[in-house]
Structure formats: structure tokens, C-alpha cells
């Protein structure tokens, strides 16, 4: 049943970008969207601000898109993806959600393929470890 629910969630996110306001820090200091869903970074993106996650990758890891009318500042900037979506960037790292996270606070994407990491809202972009 759990696998079936994840497949349904992946299909719901397929081809979409979750738009949101400025990322927030949760009680553990991790970046989350306004609903409390964990945000991730992808190692192959590097710190250039450019996203390298598209197609099937973006279906499983929807880019955290910036809501219209919001301006990025400070540690936050945006990038325009190949699909035209404006994506949030934190200190040079594009931000993503994980379709496999069932509820706010889940961190099931942390460490996937050794390339996906939750994002610490602290002074460094070193990935936070799982509790």
C-alpha cells in the first residue's frame, strides 16, 4: 500500500513545479516550504544556481518554484529552468521538494543516490544529517 501511495504522489507531481513563498527554517534549522515540507538540494547542480534535474528527475523531485510577485533577496535568488519555471535558489543551490515525502517534516529524500540532501538554513550549505 505504501508503494502504491508513493506512485500516486509521483504521478500527481509529474511535470509540475510546486510554487511557494520564501523558504522558512523549521525547528531543526532545515529549510522548508510554507507548509513545512522539507527542501532538498542536488549535488550535480553544483553551486552555480543552474538546475540539472528535469524530466523524470523533476517528476520525483519537483522544483520549488517562486510565486509570482515575490522578489528574492539575501541568501535567496532564482534561476529560470529549461522548462521556463522560475526556481528558488539558496546560496547557489536550486531547491526541490521530494514526491516521496508523505507529510510535512518527512525527510525520506535525504541521501537518495548519495546526491540529494536536506538543506540547512545555517551559515553553511553542508547537508544536515538525519536524526
111 CB burial (10 A radius; 0-12, 13-18, 19+): middle
C-alpha to C-alpha distance for 81 and 10, rounded to whole angstroms: 20
Over residues 94-130, the pLDDT tens digits come to: 999 999 999 999 999 999 999 999 999 764 443 443 4
Q: pTM of the prediction?
A: 0.80
What average pLDDT does this structure show over 71-82? 93
Amino acid at each position: 500500500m505504501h508503494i502504491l501511495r508513493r506512485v500516486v504522489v509521483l504521478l500527481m507531481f509529474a511535470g509540475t513545479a510546486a510554487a511557494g513563498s520564501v523558504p522558512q527554517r523549521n525547528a531543526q534549522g532545515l529549510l522548508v516550504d510554507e507548509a513545512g515540507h522539507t527542501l532538498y538540494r542536488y549535488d550535480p547542480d553544483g553551486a552555480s544556481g543552474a538546475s540539472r534535474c528535469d524530466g523524470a528527475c523533476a517528476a520525483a523531485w519537483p522544483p520549488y518554484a517562486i510565486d509570482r510577485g515575490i522578489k528574492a533577496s539575501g541568501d535567496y535568488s532564482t534561476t529560470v529552468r529549461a522548462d521556463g519555471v522560475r526556481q528558488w535558489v539558496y546560496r547557489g543551490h536550486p531547491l526541490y521538494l521530494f514526491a516521496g515525502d508523505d507529510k510535512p517534516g518527512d525527510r525520506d529524500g535525504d541521501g537518495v543516490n548519495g546526491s540529494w540532501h536536506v538543506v540547512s538554513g545555517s551559515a553553511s550549505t553542508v547537508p544536515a544529517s538525519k536524526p
